[in-house]
């Protein structure tokens, strides 16, 4: 990262004296007094431990301004704007020199991405306010940070926002302080040089909106789909979970999460993805167990249905023979083979319907009675005919001949109930599990435990 610092330094020396060193009688031109920087010692500003460091004058012209006073915490230095006279400038008047320079420093630093994309990066560095001294001069030089524009609290308002104008980061703190023993600069930490240095500290907060939609929204969508998949049948759930596992595994790549390719450690979003992948893997194992558990139920049910359909065909033929036998007994009925005497049909009313020859000694049936019985036989005939073509025809021992079906044996019912309990357990436990895992991750990463 590159930091540009504007430095204004005001100093004096035993040679900065009017009129011996600097003649203010004739040296004021255009309302200002300046001297060439090359002719005077000046405190060269230089970064400590930077990849690169470049100093340049703000005006582009290497000149030093001449001031009457050094300034303090409430007053800026007073520049010389008018030529001196014998009355206004006493003999041997001490003057001050001032420079305005820009220091462009490039440092290399590892970012702490544990809380990405809600991270705040701290950029620190040190620079020398005066780099060139003669032997022994460094110890005899002191720096004062007293000026109206300086604050230990750093920049605020527009000044703070102006240090970084792109949209991916928001400046939250920018401050320059005198160096100390904890200075980030290796040379500035030394006791004999720390008083010549300054440290900067910048806090940048990542703008998380784009990364939230890119990273967190897909992660939470995956959680939602996994939760909904728990409500689906095992076969459907297996397909959804398999696709979810592939999509989640793709997010394990740092670049897919918006992280640098050389990211070290496990940031929050990566840990969240790993937890999601672990939950999906667990559900895949449980769903596979369910499918194995109930693998034979459908096969055995299909066999029962096939047997029942064959039996219904026989019942349909018997019902048709019984109906034809009733029709023969009606006046004008055609002569057809008579059905066996033990044929009976169970109607929806539960009433048995006899057909075929009347028992010995019973009076002959009236034509109206025979017609009524033949008509009543039609629903049963139609029922058996339609049921013989259904995938799961009505069980004869269910809720009546036209009632619901029950094609699972007792052993298979126990397996189905066990699988249903697993479904209910997953649907009930999955949301609290996600809430627990996310809360644990937030607690670990935002408590600073990962930073240590």
The pLDDT tens digits of the residues spanning 187-235 come to 888 767 788 889 999 999 998 888 788 888 888 888 999 999 988 888 8
The predicted structure's pLDDT at residue 5: 92
* Number of separate helices (H) and strands (E) present in the chain: 8, 14
Residue 372 in this model has a pLDDT that exceeds 50: yes
pTM of the model: 0.67
Residue 297 in this model has a pLDDT that exceeds 90: no
Residues 6 or more apart from 65 whose CB is under 8 A from it? 32, 33, 34, 79, 97, 98, 99
Query: Exposure string (b/e) for 3-18, b if CB count within 10 Å is 16 or more?
Result: bebebbbbbeeeebeb
Residue 401 in this model has a pLDDT that exceeds 60: no
Sequential DSSP letters for 243-278: HHHHHHHHTTSGGGGT--TT--S--HHHHHHHHHHH
Q: What is the pLDDT of residues 68-122, one digit of tens each?
A: 888 887 888 888 888 888 777 777 888 999 999 999 999 998 888 888 888 899 9
Q: How many residues are present in the chain?
A: 452
**Helices 217-229 and 234-250: angle between axes, nearest 10 degrees:** 160
Sign of CA dihedral 209, 212, 215, 221: negative
Query: Exposure string (b/e) for 70-83, b if CB count within 10 Å is 16 or more?
Result: bbeeeeebebbeee
Q: What is the pLDDT of residues 154-172, one digit of tens each?
A: 888 888 888 888 888 999 9
Sign of CA dihedral 168, 170, 175, 180: negative
The predicted structure's pLDDT at residue 356: 42
């Amino acid at each position: 990262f590159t930091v540009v610092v504007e430095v204004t330094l005001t100093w004096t020396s035993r040679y900065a004296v009017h009129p011996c060193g600097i003649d203010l009688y004739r040296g004021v031109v255009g309302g200002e007094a300046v001297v060439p920087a090359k002719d005077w010692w000046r405190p060269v500003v230089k970064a400590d431990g930077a990849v690169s460091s470049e100093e340049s004058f703000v005006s582009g012209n290497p000149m030093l301004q001449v001031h009457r006073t050094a300034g303090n915490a409430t007053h800026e230095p007073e520049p010389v704007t008018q030529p001196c006279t014998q009355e206004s400038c006493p003999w041997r008047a001490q003057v001050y020199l001032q420079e305005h320079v820009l220091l462009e420093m490039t440092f290399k630093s590892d970012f702490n991405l544990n809380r990405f994309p809600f991270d705040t990066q701290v950029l620190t560095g040190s620079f020398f306010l005066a780099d060139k001294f003669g032997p022994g001069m460094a110890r005899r030089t002191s720096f004062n940070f007293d000026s109206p524009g300086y604050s230990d609290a750093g920049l605020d308002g527009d000044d703070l926002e102006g240090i970084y104008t792109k949209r991916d980061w928001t400046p939250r703190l920018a401050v320059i302080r005198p160096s100390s023993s904890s200075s980030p600069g290796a040379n500035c930490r030394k006791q004999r040089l720390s008083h010549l240095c300054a440290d900067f500290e910048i806090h940048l907060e990542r703008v998380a909106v784009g990364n939230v939609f890119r990273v967190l929204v897909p992660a939470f969508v995956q959680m939602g789909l996994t939760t909904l998949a728990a409500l689906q049948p095992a076969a459907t759930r297996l397909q959804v979970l398999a696709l979810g596992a592939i999509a989640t595994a793709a997010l394990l790549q740092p670049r897919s999460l918006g992280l640098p390719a050389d990211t070290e450690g496990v940031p929050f979003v990566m840990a969240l993805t790993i937890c999601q992948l672990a939950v999906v893997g667990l559900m895949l194992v449980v769903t596979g167990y369910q499918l194995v558990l109930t693998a034979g139920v459908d096969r055995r049910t299909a066999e029962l249905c096939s047997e029942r359909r064959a039996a219904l065909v026989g019942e349909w033929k018997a019902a048709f023979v019984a109906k034809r036998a009733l029709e023969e007994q009606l006046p004008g009925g055609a002569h057809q083979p008579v059905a066996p005497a033990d044929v009976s049909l169970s109607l929806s009313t539960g009433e048995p319907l006899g057909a075929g020859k009347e028992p010995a000694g019973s009076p002959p049936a009236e034509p109206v009675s025979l017609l009524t019985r033949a008509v009543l036989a039609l629903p049963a005939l139609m029922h058996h005919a339609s049921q013989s073509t259904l995938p799961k025809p009505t069980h004869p021992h269910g809720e009546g001949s036209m009632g619901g079906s029950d094609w699972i044996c007792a052993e298979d019912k126990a397996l189905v109930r066990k699988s249903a309990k697993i479904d209910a357990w997953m649907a009930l436990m999955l949301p609290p599990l996600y809430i627990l895992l996310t809360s644990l991750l937030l607690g670990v990463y935002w408590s600073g435990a990962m930073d240590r």
